[in-house]
Amino acid sequence: MDKEERFWLGVLAVVFLLVNVITLSPLVPWQEWMLWSRPTPDQTVSVEFGDYEIGLPPEGVEVQVGEFVEFVATSSDVTYGFGVFRQDGTMVFQMQVVPGHENRMVWRFDETGIYDVRSTEYSGPRHSDMLVVDAIRVSP
């Protein structure tokens, strides 16, 4: 390995370290609780998927800003996706919902508002209809 190759390998190593350290650190906001603090959730919300339906609690999902909510999603048939979206269509977070497993994710909402839930994984031709508008209400 000559001098130029060693220099280039060094550049690659620095980029590798920088990007991984930054993205595993709390500079990516949700890494703070997903990787580091691992808080006990303030509330748990069960979401049941099956037959192209997203089953949220009948009383609705009410969350306070700054509260840690654990979403536990299960599927009774095929793989789905649990995605939370803002009213303008941008994504807050998502996870896959694999049948036969409990799929858990803790989230902390930092903004008040009303959020939609949509299946983010293809589950058959009616997949695109799997949308629950105004599913989560986040209050101050």
Partner 1 sequence: MTKIGWLEKWTLRFAVVGLIFLAMSGFEGSLMRTQLFAPEALRGMETALNTIRPVAHEPTQAELFYGMLTVHPIVGIYGFAYMCVMGAFYFLVPFLLKREIRHKKLVPLNFWLQAGGVMICWLSGFFGLFNALYTLYWPLPVTYDRVPLAGSIFFVIGAAVVMVNILLFSFNIFSTVLSKTNPGDYSFWQFLRAAFGISRLMKWLGKEDRTAPNLDYDGFSPFIVAVARGSVDTVINAIVLLAAGVLVLVYGVSALMGHTLDPAAIDALVYKNWFWWGLDMVADGSVLMYTAGTWYLLIPLLVNRRLYGESVVRTVIMVDLLVSMGVWSHHLLGDQAQPFIMRLLSGQIVTWGEFFTMGLTIFASLMTIWKARPVKMTPPLKFVLGSIFGFLMGGAAGLIQANVGLNVVFHNTQWVVSLHAHTFLLTGLGTLLFAVVYALIPMLTKLELRSKRLADVHFWTWMVGSVGMAYVMGMAGSQGMLRRTLYPTPNPFQPYLGLALVGSLLMTVGFVAFLVNIVGTLGWKNVLSLVVPEEWLEGRIRMAHA
Minimum separation from the CB atom of position 56 to partner 1 (A): 18
Residue that has been written with the tokens 């997203």 in this structure: 54
Instruction: Determine if 64 is a binding residue for partner 1 (CB under 8 A).
Output: no
Considering the rule CB under 8 A, would residue 139 count as an interface residue with partner 1?
A: no
CB-nearer residue toward partner 1: 59 or 88: 88
What φ, ψ does residue 60 adopt, rounded to 5°?
A: 90, 170
Buried/exposed 45-67: b ≥16 CB within 10 Å, e otherwise: bebebbebebebeeeebebeeee
Of the candidate residues 118, 135, 136, 138, the single one contacting partner 1 (CB under 8 A) = 118
Site residues (vs partner 1, CB under 8 A): 1-2, 4-5, 8-9, 12, 15-16, 19-20, 23-24, 28, 30-31, 34-35, 77-79, 81, 83, 85-86, 88-96, 98-105, 118, 120-128
